[in-house]
Every structure is written in C-alpha cells, then in structure tokens.
Amino acid sequence: MMKAWTWTHGGYPQALQQSTLPSDTGPLRSSEIRVRIKAASINPVDVQLMSYPLISHLPAFLVPPQKGVGEDFSGVVEEAGPNSGFKIGDEVLGIAQFLPGGTLQETTKIDTRVSAVVRKPADWTWEQAAALPLVWLTARTTISRAESHVKSGKIVILGGSSSCGMYAVYLAKQRGWTVKASCSGRNADFVRSMGADDVIDYTTSNVREQVKAFAPDAIIDFVGGTECLWISKAYVTVVGDKTDRLSPGGRYIYFWNPRMLLRAIAGRIGFGQSYTCINLEFSTSFLKELLDLPKDKIVIDSVFGFDQVKEAFDKLNTGRVRGKLVINVAT
C-alpha cells in the first residue's frame, strides 16, 4: 500500500481526501516508467477537475471513481520499460496526464509516449524540478501559437505575474520581442525581472487603452475576459472569456461558449484576428528547453508537507500566490 491524495465526487473541497492505495507493481509496458515521487506541485486545474460535473458521470473503465491528484512531479525511476528512454536510478521531472492523474502519491506509473519527462538537472532541488513542467509547457504552448504573428516584435502578456504568465514573459523576451505585461503594481518589479520591458498596473490604469496604444502583434491572455479582444492580429488565451478560477479552461470552453468558437472559426478563415484557446502540449522537446532556465527564474511561493495538501489548496484558491506551491512527497 502507498500513501496518496485522491478525489472522488461532490466537488472541491469535499472531493479531496488523503488515502491509501494499492501499490501498482504489475509489469510495465515498454514505454512506461515507474517513478518514486520526491516532490509534486498543485495547480488550479486540479480544483477545476474536482468541480467539473461531467467527470462524475463517466464510466469507471474510462475514469476510476478514486482519481489521483497532481500532474507535475520530480522523482527517481525505479523501473523502466525498454523503450521508455530511461533507466533505473535516473532522476527525472515531468508531467503526467490530467486523468486519472496522480503525482501526489509515493509512486506513479508514467507512459512516456503520452506524457513529457526529462532528466532533472543535478543542481536543481526536487522542489524546483516539480514546480515547473505544467506552467512552463502552458507558457511555451502559448508562445508557439503566437510567434508566427509577431512581425514587429511587440507582444502583450495579460497576467504577467501569474505562474504561467511569468514564463511567457521570459520566453517572449528570450526571442528578442518587446514585451508589455499587465500585473498589479506590487508585482511590477518582479515581472520586469522576468523580462518585461514595461508593465500595465491593472489596479490604476485602463488596460485596454494602454494595450491599444502599444499596438502589439499578438496578445497572450492568462487572465480571462474580453477586454482586449480585437486589438492585435492574434489573440492566444488559456482561459477564454471566463474569469471564474474554479471553471475549467482550455479549448473545451468552445463547447459551451459559441462566441469563442465563432471567433476561432472566423479567424481561421481570415475574418478578423486569429483567435485560439489552447490546451498545453505534452511536448518533450518543449520540456527539454526548460533545462536551460536559470535557477533564479524558478519561482516557488511555498513548500508544504505531504499532510498539508488541503492547506496548500486553500492558499492556491486565494489567488494571491507568486510562483508555485510545491508538496514534499518523500519523507
């Protein structure tokens, strides 16, 4: 048996529970690895999944009643399939699929064909390694969608101090672009330290007016809403029109927001701006780029013990977090 955090039904927070699960000691597929988890981090998507009503109606053979919590991880490979690209003893970091999930547990099985896993730099702590995969891949995916439109080199990033936005700022600046990012005044210096050339303090300024005056080629949105639509040639968003932190984001919003879908279709056929709401790409090549990130750009807000996961989620849901909340899994 192994210790784990899982969720069942009823929505957050009642769905979240500390559990004991049978250890999966069965044979691996050739592309799979079994990892002893050292650290994991939590994300808003974990809360969103727990509160997503349709999941509880899916059959058990698709999604088990007791689902794992967490996607990001760092740890040590205990067993490796011959085609996994890893060997026993490798120190790794990566991201598992969202469902059934499960990195807040002592061991987990990862299929390297559908997940993204790389070797951990020797000088990174377990906590630093676990803090990065989801937010880096999300930021990197938004950059990949925007870069073909950035002709003059100007880009706006809404939510530049968010856990994904800060890395979008960093990646945009690494490409030599002029970066303008929105954030609160108290986070302005931090966002500049990640690479922003200028910031818009949304607490004291009219964001739309300042974005329009800047005339960017593309806007990347980690905030949500519609305030800055139709200003740039391209608009890439993670959260779409929603501003509720507990609602799921990503391209699945198209199913219940026909306005967003019409925007995306119109842009695709050449009417108006290019518009896309993304899901992150589970790209190993994108994740390998992370290994060049300077250590001083790895931003961790807080580290919690394994028994403090509920306290960590309470802090996450305040929305007042800079960087990631990481859980020490190994004792």
pLDDT of residue 227: 96
Residue 202 makes CB contacts below 8 A (sequence gap 6+) with: 182, 183, 184
CA distances in angstroms from 128 to 109, 298, 299, listed in the order given: 21, 6, 8
How many helical (H) and strand (E) elements, i.e. helices and strands, does the chain have?
9, 16
pLDDT of residue 213: 98
pLDDT, mean of residues 10-37: 91
pLDDT of residue 204: 97
Q: Over 70: is that where the pLDDT of 134 sits? A: yes
Helices 165-174 & 133-146, crossing angle to 10 degrees? 50
| pLDDT-based confidence at residue 48 (cuts at 50, 70, 90) | confident
**Domain boundaries, given as residue ranges, for the chain:** 2-132+298-328, 134-277
| pLDDT-based confidence at residue 57 (cuts at 50, 70, 90) | low
pLDDT of residue 234: 98
Q: Which residue has the higher pLDDT, 50 or 123?
A: 123
Rounded Cα–Cα distance for residues 174 and 139 (Å): 13
Q: Among the listed ranges 40-44, 63-67, 186-190, 228-232, which one has the minimum average pLDDT value?
A: 63-67
Q: Over 90: is that where the pLDDT of 245 sits? A: no
pLDDT, mean of residues 207-212: 98
Q: What is the pLDDT of residues 170-199, one digit of tens each?
A: 999 999 999 999 999 999 999 999 999 999
| pLDDT-based confidence at residue 151 (cuts at 50, 70, 90) | very high
Fold of 134-277: Rossmann fold (3.40.50)
Q: Over 90: is that where the pLDDT of 324 sits? A: yes
Give the residue among 170, 206, 220 at the shortest CA–CA distance from 190.
170
Q: Over 70: is that where the pLDDT of 56 sits? A: no
pLDDT of residue 243: 80
The dotted CATH code for 2-132+298-328 is 3.90.180.10
Q: What is the pLDDT of residues 71-126, one digit of tens each?
A: 999 999 999 999 999 999 999 999 998 877 789 999 999 999 999 999 999 999 99
